[in-house]
Amino acid sequence: MRLNLRESLLYLVTRLLARGDRRARAMADYRPDNVQRILLISSTALGDTVLSTAAMGAVRQRFPAARIAALIYRDYVPLFDQADFLDEVIPYYGGWQRFFSTIAALRRTQPDVALVLHGNEPQATPLAYFSGARFIFKLPNTSRFAFLLSNVRPRLGWVDFPQHGMHVRLAVAELAGVNNIDVRMRLPVPTLAQEHVAHWLVQQGVAATDTVIGFQAGASSRGRMWPVAHFVALARQLLAMHPAYRFVITGAPHERLRCEEIAKGIGVGAIVAADALPIETLPALVQRCAVLVTGDTGTLHVAVAVGTPTVSLFAVSSPAVSGPAYDLERHIVIHHPAPAGVRSKTDNDRWMAQIPSGEVAAAVAQQLTMRSQKVAYD
């Protein structure tokens, strides 16, 4: 009830402010050549934020002299400390937390235009408006706060965007006059992070010449996670092919116990990275892997961004929307679709469990063979 009251009050306040706003804010009044300051909002999960980096990079290419600030969920801010396509990163604390201090931080950026690349309502669009931005672009544009947008018409919902999530964000950038669309995601991999990862791996007994296979254990819902026993079976099959393989189990800090369960099942050769390394080292760690086995989760998009081959597993979600976005020859997707009507956020992993470890092992072996051939060719 309290949340509904907050949202209703926010709606009333923004309605009144918009009614008295005398600025010409329609899309027809927008002039890209006059833009000097830009606010980019991508304030949700890791994967959503990484997908947004393609649009962020494209915005920088279109507006090389503009000052660009980004509102990013607080846990992922360190990933962008050395991003050359952003001038400033503002932490978002989620929901109503620090709502007014966030508004103050956004207003200090004095943006001419705000692009909501991905953000949850009822906060995302009002935050863009409270930043002071004259023009605001967002897709889809069907929320109750759509009256604050410059692209009010035509009204487009998610059903109108069957393409990959990365391309929806690029469509928002196009509304702001970004025509030189860069279709690659961008994540900094600082030398210091690479050195940190290399040192940590040595401490875990992993040599620079060892073949490291990454297992991403967690996801946003249990329905997107491959079962622990399947990861263990996969590792044993791969060790039967090559006993010297090393396995790094990745996941969020709260997924550490799950990661440890997988590592314990594998035995010698498996190490847990979850809660052992800071978030800013994740791109370097994933880049160190010869291949990453993962469900539909943010680490998959990190791998695509840094060029690491993947074997991605899908059941309750669609790889066409949230799978590898490009370099498809470098990524193997295993898709065993769940029955129609199963929610992508389900906590039932029975459909992921139907993906057999033998099929995944064959795909990993294929990726490793391709890697060996590439190394020999180079």
CATH of the domain at 148: 3.40.50.2000
Contact by Cβ (8 Å): 282, 200? no
Q: In terms of domains, do 217 and 169 share one?
A: no
Tokens of 207: 């040599």
Query: What's the rounded Cα separation, in Å, for the pair 115 and 162?
Result: 20
Q: What is the pLDDT of residue 94?
A: 96
Instruction: Work out how many domains the chain is built from and give that number.
Output: 2
Q: In terms of domains, do 257 and 367 share one?
A: yes
3-class DSSP state for residue 64?
coil
For residue 183, is it within any domain?
no
Residues contacting residue 288 through CB under 8 Å, at least 6 positions apart: 194, 197, 198, 201, 212
Q: In terms of domains, do 282 and 370 share one?
A: yes
Q: In terms of domains, do 310 and 274 share one?
A: yes
Question: At 38, which helix (H) or strand (E)?
Answer: strand 37-42
Q: In terms of domains, do 272 and 146 share one?
A: no
For residue 319, is it within any domain?
yes
Q: How far is CA 51 from CA 95, 208, 273, 362, in A?
A: 21, 30, 23, 28
Contact by Cβ (8 Å): 14, 144? no
Q: What is the pLDDT of residue 371?
A: 85
Query: What's the rounded Cα separation, in Å, for the pair 145 and 165?
Result: 21
Q: In terms of domains, do 118 and 41 share one?
A: yes
Q: What is the pLDDT of residue 1?
A: 45
CA 358: distance to chain centroid? 28
Give the CB-side neighbour count of residue 336, counting CA atoms within 13 A.
Answer: 16
Q: What is the DSSP string of 75-121?
A: GGGGGGTT-TT-SEEEEE-STTTTHHHHHHHHHHT--SEEEEEE--T
For residue 311, is it within any domain?
yes
Domain boundary among 175, 209, 229: 175
Query: What's the rounded Cα separation, in Å, for the pair 137 and 176?
Result: 7
Q: What is the 3-state secondary structure (H, E, C) of 330-346?
A: HEEEEECCCCCCCCCCC
Q: What is the DSSP string of 131-144?
A: TT-SEEEESS--ST
Task: Determine how many CB atoms are found less than 10 A away from the CB of residue 49.
Answer: 26
For residue 224, is it within any domain?
yes
For residue 180, is it within any domain?
no
Q: What is the pLDDT of residue 372?
A: 79
Query: What's the rounded Cα separation, in Å, for the pair 72 and 51?
Result: 12
For residue 4, is it within any domain?
no
Q: In terms of domains, do 162 and 242 share one?
A: no
Query: What's the rounded Cα separation, in Å, for the pair 278 and 197?
Result: 10
Q: What are phi and psi of 114, to 5 degrees?
A: -125, 135
Q: In terms of domains, do 92 and 224 share one?
A: no
Domain boundary among 175, 207, 222: 175
Residue 330 burial class via C-beta count within 10 angstroms: exposed 0-12, middle 13-18, buried 19 and up: middle
The pTM score is 0.95
Q: In terms of domains, do 57 and 169 share one?
A: yes
Q: What is the pLDDT of residue 376?
A: 60
Domain boundary among 140, 175, 210: 175
| Structural domain of 301 | 191-377
Query: What's the rounded Cα separation, in Å, for the pair 130 and 264?
Result: 50
Q: What is the DSSP string of 189-241?
A: --HHHHHHHHHHHHHTT--TTS-EEEEE---SSGGGSPPHHHHHHHHHHHHHH
Task: Determine how many CB atoms are found less than 10 A away from the CB of residue 101.
Answer: 11
For residue 253, is it within any domain?
yes
Q: What is the 3-state secondary structure (H, E, C) of 241-301?
A: HCCCCEEEEECCHHHHHHHHHHHHHHCCCEEECCCCCCHHHHHHHHHHCCEEEECCCHHHH
Q: In terms of domains, do 214 and 67 share one?
A: no
Q: In terms of domains, do 109 and 258 share one?
A: no
Q: What is the pLDDT of residue 179?
A: 87
Q: In terms of domains, do 23 and 102 share one?
A: yes
Q: What is the pLDDT of residue 182?
A: 61
Q: Which parts of the chain have pLDDT scores under 50?
A: 1
For residue 5, is it within any domain?
no
